[in-house]
Amino acid sequence: LIALFERAVGLYAHLVGINAYHQPGVEAGKKAAAAVLAIRKQIKDHLASHPNQPYTAHQLAQAIDHPEKTDWTYKILQSLQANHPEQYVRFPKEHPEQDTFQKTI
């Protein structure tokens, strides 16, 4: 059934003049994901080497030499804390930009 669907999509794409198997958007997505994962690794490594030290997203983005990626850093920190609350602590402040995060021992 899956193979039949794949053939139908390929045939329809051919009829309307689209190459269904050439997907530059998929490649761009892979490259973007690789960049996010690289920054996530840098964040985790930095926090692991500085346990129990709180950082704002901006401070941490500067510490890993990516000050232009403060928004990515904040989202990654939120994700780490939500998925690993026993390892990462969030201290919410009045404004999200002031929230601090730290890795526990």
Residues in the chain predicted with pLDDT less than 70, given as ranges, are 25-26, 29
- The four Cα atoms 92, 98, 103, 105 give a dihedral, to 10 degrees, of -70
Non-local CB neighbours of 65 within 8 Å, separated by 6+ positions:
none
68-to-7, 33, 57, 61, 98 alpha-carbon distances in Å = 44, 17, 11, 8, 17
- The four Cα atoms 94, 101, 74, 72 give a dihedral, to 10 degrees, of 170
| pLDDT 10s digits, 3-31 | 998 888 888 878 877 777 777 766 776 78
Crossing angle between the packed helical segments 70-83 and 24-49, to the nearest 10 degrees:
70
Write down the pTM of the prediction: 0.75
